[in-house]
A and B are shown apart, each in its own frame.
Chain A
Amino acid sequence: MGSVPAALLSLGAVAFHAVVSQVAPQWHPFGWTSFGVSVAAVLLNLVAATALRIRDRRWSASWFLVHAGLMVAIASAMMGSMAAVRGKVFLNAGQATAQVVSAKGDRIAYLPFGLMLQEFQLEESAPPLTLVDTSAREIVFRAGEPVFELQAGARGTLRGIEFEVVRYLAHAELDHDTIRAATDTFCPPAALLKYGTGGVWREGWITCGGIGIPTITQPAGSVRLAMAMPPAKNFRSVVTILEMGSKPEEAVIEVNRGLSRDGWTLQQLDYDKAAGRASRISVLEAVRDPFAMWVKVGICLTLAGIVAFAVSEWRRSA
C-alpha cells in the first residue's frame, strides 16, 4: 500500500471510531469505550506511511516536521497514558495532605511533598438582576433579555419594569428587620432597588441570600425581581508546600495557572460551590506524566511543520 492510502486509511479508521463513540451509546461488550486501539492503529499507520515516503525519497521539510511531530506527540501521549499517574487532591483548610485519589476513588498515590490549604480565594463578578416566579419556583428570565449587573447607580428597564440600584452592599447581613453592611466577607451581596411598574414606584432590598441573610426578592407585577448568584470570575488556592528537609513554601494555584514541582503538575479544579467564597475545601488535579514534555515537543514540531507547509503552499500557488 502506498503512503497516502495508508494515511487515508488511518484517518478513516479513527474518524469512524470517533463517529461511533459520539452517536451511539457506549457499553463494554463492543469495547468501544476507549480510543487506545484506534490511536495505536493511527500511530502504526503513520509510521508505515512515513517510512514508505522516506524510502521513496518523496518528502519535504514541512512534511517531515508535521509527520515526525505527530508521531512524537501520539507516541508520547500513548506512553504517557500508560505511565501517568492522575488524580484529585482534596484540600481542607488548615490540614496537610499528600494523597492523590484516582478518579474512581479506588487508588491512592502520594505526592513527594505535602500541601496545606492556607486559604481558598474566590473572585466573583457583580451579580446580575433576574426575574423569578416564586410560585413555580423557577427563574423566568428569557434568552435575549438584557443582563443588568447590580452595581450602585445601575439603571435600566427589564420586561417593562424600570429600576435603579440606589445602594449596593458587597457583603450584607440582616439585623432584625434591616439590612446593613457586614464585616464578614463571606456574607452575600445585597442591592436596594427603586423600581416602578405601571407608574407605581417602590423601594426594596434584594439579595441572593447566604450567610447571615435569607434570599429576598421584590414583587413586580406577575414576577419578582431577584438577584442571581454572582458568577465566579477566578478562584485559587493559597497553599503551603511542606517537604522534608526544606522550609515551608507558600504557593498559589489558580485556574489556568498550575504549579509544577518534583515531576507533578497541580491544577486548580474545583471547590465547595454551595459554600462559594466561604468554601473550606479546594480540589486540585494532580498529574505526573513523564512523557508530557515530549508531547509538547511533538506539538511544537507539528506547528513548525504547519507554518513551513503554509509558506510552501503560498509560494506554490503564487
Chain B
Amino acid sequence: MIWSWFPLVAIVHMACVVAAGVAVVRNRNGLASILAAMSVLVLSVFVGGIWIDMGRPPLRTYGETRLAYALGLGVLSLSAHRLLRQSWTLLYGGAMAGLFVALTWAIPESHSRALMPALRSPWFVPHVTVYLLGYAAATATSIAALLNLRKPAIDGRKLDALLSVTIVLLSCGLLFGALWAKEAWGSYWTWDPKETWAFLTWACYVGVLHHRRSHPGQELAGCRILTVAWVVLMLAWFAVGYLPGGANSVHVYTR
C-alpha cells in the first residue's frame, strides 16, 4: 500500500515547506516559490498515487481530507502569491499545509479501499474538493483578518478578494451538497448536524461580506467576526461528531 510511504512523503513535504519559509524570510521569493511548488508536487503525486492504489477518491476519512486540505492550501497559496505578489501567502500556505500533514502523520488511521454506497456518486469529488478549497480560502481570510487585528497588514481590497473566493467556494459546496442530498436521500436539506454547521460557517462569512459592504469604515469589527468564523469552521469540520446530536449525523463516515 502506498500509504506506508506516507512518513517519507511527510518528511520531504515538510522539508520543502520549511526551506520555502526560510527563503521567504531571506527575501529569496523565486526560490521560495520553487520550493513551495515542490511541496505541492510531492503531495499531488502522493494523493494521486493513493487514489489509484485504493481505487477511490481519497476524501473519505479525516486523515484523507486533511491531506487534500493541505494540497488545496498549497495550490491556493501559490496562486495567491502569483496574483498578489505577497510573500506572506507562501508562509501561510506552507505553515498550514505542513501543520495538517503533520497532524495526519500524528493521528494514525486505517485506510480501507471500501467506499460506502452513499459516497459512490458523481457529486462526491466536486462537493468535497470545493469544500476543502473553500476551507483553505476561509482559513487564509481569517488569518489575514487576524493579522489585521494587530496592525493593518493586508490591504482591505485584498481581504475582500479573499473573502469573495471563500464565499464562492463555500456557497458552491453547500449547493452541490444540497443537489447531491436530493439524489441520495430525496431531500435538499434536512438540518443534519453537519449541514447546520456548514450553514453556520457560510452564514458567518456571508455576514462579514454584508458587514464590510455596509460599514466600510469598520474594518476591525469584520476582522473580529472573521476570526470567530474560523473557529466555527473548525467545529464544523472536526467537532460535529462530538456535539449533542452529532452522533446521529449521516455525514460521519469514519466509524
> For the complex, what is the distance from the CA of A15 to the CA of B184, rounded to whole Å?
26
The answer to whether B109 and A128 touch across the interface, beta carbons within 8 angstroms, is no
Chain A, residue nearest B112 (CB): A147
> For the complex, what is the distance from the CA of A26 to the CA of B243, rounded to whole Å?
13
In the assembled complex, the CB of B208 is this many whole angstroms from the nearest CB of chain A, namely 10
Question: Chain B 169-180, CB within 8 Å of chain A: the 1/0 string?
Answer: 001100100110
Cross-chain contact of A125 among B114, B179, B193 (Cβ < 8 A): B114
Question: Chain B 150-186, CB within 8 Å of chain A: the 1/0 string?
Answer: 0000000110110011011001100100110011111
Question: Chain B 75-102, CB within 8 Å of chain A: the 1/0 string?
Answer: 0000000000000000000000000000
Beyond the given pairs A142-B110, A285-B185, A287-B187, 18 more chain A to chain B contacts, judged by CB atoms under 8 angstroms and listed by A's residue number, are: A7-B210, A11-B203, A18-B191, A18-B196, A19-B200, A21-B245, A22-B246, A143-B109, A147-B110, A232-B116, A234-B117, A256-B118, A269-B185, A285-B186, A296-B179, A302-B171, A313-B161, A316-B161
Cross-chain contact of B110 among A5, A77, A145, A285 (Cβ < 8 A): A145
Question: A235 at interface (Cβ–Cβ under 8 A)?
Answer: yes
> For the complex, what is the distance from the CA of A125 to the CA of B119, rounded to whole Å?
14
Would you list which residues of chain A between 239 and 257 have a CB under 8 Å from chain B? 255-257
Which of A162-170, A180-188, A216-224, A303-311 contacts the other chain? A303-311
Chain B residues in 8 Å Cβ range of A7 = 210
In the assembled complex, the CB of A225 is this many whole angstroms from the nearest CB of chain B, namely 16
Chain B residues in 8 Å Cβ range of A235 = 117
Question: A146 at interface (Cβ–Cβ under 8 A)?
Answer: yes
Question: A277 at interface (Cβ–Cβ under 8 A)?
Answer: no
The answer to whether B245 and A22 touch across the interface, beta carbons within 8 angstroms, is yes
The answer to whether B214 and A255 touch across the interface, beta carbons within 8 angstroms, is no
The answer to whether B178 and A22 touch across the interface, beta carbons within 8 angstroms, is no
Chain A residues in 8 Å Cβ range of B244 = 22-25
Where chain B touches its partner, the secondary structure class is: helix
How many A-B residue pairs lie within 8 Å, measured between CB atoms?
154
The answer to whether A306 and B171 touch across the interface, beta carbons within 8 angstroms, is yes
In the assembled complex, the CB of B244 is this many whole angstroms from the nearest CB of chain A, namely 6
In the assembled complex, the CB of B237 is this many whole angstroms from the nearest CB of chain A, namely 14
Q: Which residues of B contact A (CB under 8 A)?
A: 1, 3-4, 108-118, 120-121, 157-158, 160-161, 164-165, 167-168, 171-172, 175, 178-179, 182-189, 191, 193, 196-197, 199-200, 203-204, 206-207, 210-211, 213-214, 243-246
Chain A residues in 8 Å Cβ range of B187 = 86, 287
Question: A95 at interface (Cβ–Cβ under 8 A)?
Answer: no
Chain A, residue nearest B191 (CB): A35
> For the complex, what is the distance from the CA of A231 to the CA of B253, rounded to whole Å?
13
Question: A198 at interface (Cβ–Cβ under 8 A)?
Answer: no
The answer to whether A86 and B186 touch across the interface, beta carbons within 8 angstroms, is yes
> For the complex, what is the distance from the CA of A151 to the CA of B207, rounded to whole Å?
53
Q: Which of B114, B120, B245 has the most CB of A within 10 A?
A: B114
Cross-chain contact of B186 among A12, A125, A258 (Cβ < 8 A): A258
> For the complex, what is the distance from the CA of A232 to the CA of B158, rounded to whole Å?
47
The answer to whether A22 and B243 touch across the interface, beta carbons within 8 angstroms, is yes
In the assembled complex, the CB of A119 is this many whole angstroms from the nearest CB of chain B, namely 17
Chain A residues in 8 Å Cβ range of B186 = 86, 258, 265, 267, 285-287
Q: Would you mind naming 18 contact pairs between A and B with Cβ atoms under 8 Å apart?
A: A8-B210, A11-B207, A15-B204, A21-B191, A22-B193, A35-B191, A73-B188, A125-B114, A128-B112, A146-B111, A231-B112, A234-B117, A234-B120, A235-B117, A255-B120, A256-B121, A295-B182, A306-B172
The answer to whether A4 and B196 touch across the interface, beta carbons within 8 angstroms, is no
> For the complex, what is the distance from the CA of A90 to the CA of B1, rounded to whole Å?
41
Chain A residues in 8 Å Cβ range of B168 = 306-307, 309-310, 313
Chain B residues in 8 Å Cβ range of A309 = 164, 167-168
The answer to whether B210 and A317 touch across the interface, beta carbons within 8 angstroms, is no
Chain A, residue nearest B54 (CB): A147
The answer to whether A18 and B110 touch across the interface, beta carbons within 8 angstroms, is no
> For the complex, what is the distance from the CA of A152 to the CA of B5, rounded to whole Å?
24
The answer to whether B210 and A77 touch across the interface, beta carbons within 8 angstroms, is no
In the assembled complex, the CB of A58 is this many whole angstroms from the nearest CB of chain B, namely 10
Question: A133 at interface (Cβ–Cβ under 8 A)?
Answer: no
Chain A, residue nearest B188 (CB): A295
Chain A residues in 8 Å Cβ range of B171 = 302-303, 306
Question: Chain A 281-306, CB within 8 Å of chain B: the 1/0 string?
Answer: 00001110000100110010011001
The answer to whether A231 and B203 touch across the interface, beta carbons within 8 angstroms, is no
The answer to whether A303 and B114 touch across the interface, beta carbons within 8 angstroms, is no
The answer to whether B196 and A22 touch across the interface, beta carbons within 8 angstroms, is yes
Chain B, residue nearest A236 (CB): B117
The answer to whether B203 and A15 touch across the interface, beta carbons within 8 angstroms, is yes
